[in-house]
A = this chain, B = another copy of it.
């Protein structure tokens, strides 16, 4: 504000109010510095912490009052109380939201013959059958690096098939697209020049904190034609002139946080060389784990590893028995609180997932986790 006029004798109820200032700049500085120390101390000691919380669901509810405090709690106490406590599937949710009848979704089954990537021939057959039945194929979603197993669909071939039906082709590369900043992984995107859109989430593997997702579209006008709104109170010279890209016309909501800023800070702070190095390091660590699994006859790799996820399992005769043995191995490893395995089902078989991706992970952690898995398996088999 520029000039400040004298009070001019105006009387308001305001004069009686106690002097509460929501934002005291000295407090801001002091509280935020304390919060930074809290986070820094947490990172420093993260290795000593169990990967599974020691608390049960609902414990925090008992710790909290039924209502918020009437008066402020000291900031230090609030910080102290802090110490306590996984997209493919989302696609089907999105289709339901968009008003498509679930009866009209098609999942193309995949198998080991294509390393669990989609077979374009099967896709073509499914689309042709639908078209013959009088349905209108509308949208194809291919995936590079599925969440479940990191399998990769051949996007160029998928796009060629889709082009016969004039449908929108989207590529979900939420996790794996980060790897494509390295030339040696970029071939997974071959054919991307034929698709309509592709999404990737730097919060998954590019050192950017949750949440940050990039969506690239070939023709942005097709997005804004669907999502444009024009309320009077949002009109301004810049938006009316068309000089700016009005993001409110390209998303569901109106307001948005400036997520691009944190991604920009990450790119600036690390540089591409270090970001590539970070990806290569994780992939090397995953490959190291894969080699350890390969070297032990009792285990098998189920889905060929593409990035930093290893899908493996104990070999046992009989599908049912193998699923149970692997589920038990996972439970026993996780119980230790030293490592945390997740599972998925690939081709009807339960598979264990070993994911490398923590920014603090080192070679010794991989070795120690494998040692834990090996030892736990041996104990179970005796």
Contact residues of A with B, CB < 8 Å? 1-5, 7-8, 10, 12-14, 17-18, 20-23, 25, 28-29, 31-33, 36-37, 39-40, 43-44, 47, 56-58, 67-73, 75, 78, 81-82, 85-90, 92-94, 96-100, 147-148, 207, 210-211, 226-227, 229-235, 238, 243-244, 252-257, 261, 265, 267-274, 277-278, 280-281, 284-285, 287-288, 291-292, 336, 338-339, 342-345, 353, 359-360, 363-365, 367-369, 371-372
A3 to B369 CA separation, bound complex (whole angstroms): 9
Task: Specify which of B98, B227, B285, B336 is in contact with A93 (CB 8 Å cutoff).
Answer: B227
Number of copies: 2
User: A294 CB to closest chain B CB, in angstroms?
Assistant: 12
Q: How far is B245's CA from A58's CA once the two chains are assembled, in angstroms?
A: 10
Chain B residue numbers with a CB within 8 Å of A360 are 21-23
Nearest CB of chain B from residue A335's CB, rounded to whole Å: 11
Report yes or no: B93 in contact with A229, Cβ–Cβ below 8 A. Answer: yes
Contact A230 B281 (CB under 8 A): no
Distance from A212 Cβ to chain B, minimum over Cβ atoms (Å): 10
Given contacts A89-B229, A90-B229, 7 further A-B pairs with CB under 8 A are: A1-B47, A10-B367, A14-B363, A22-B207, A28-B43, A86-B231, A211-B257
CA distance A53 to B1 in the complex (A): 14
Whether B89 pairs with A230 at a CB distance below 8 angstroms is yes
Is B271 in contact with A90, judged by CB distance below 8 angstroms?
no
- Once bound together, how far apart are the Cα atoms of A85 and B33, in whole Å? 26
Known contacts A39-B28, A70-B271, A288-B10; A280/B17 CB under 8 A: yes
In contact, A72 and B270 (Cβ under 8 angstroms): yes
Chain B residue at smallest Cβ distance from A60: B264
10 A-B pairs in the complex with CB atoms less than 8 angstroms apart? A2-B368, A3-B371, A4-B367, A5-B371, A10-B292, A10-B367, A14-B285, A14-B288, A28-B43, A72-B269
Cβ-defined contact, B284 with A12, below 8 A: yes
* A271 and B233 form a contact (CB under 8 A): no
CB-CB nearest in chain B for A282: B22
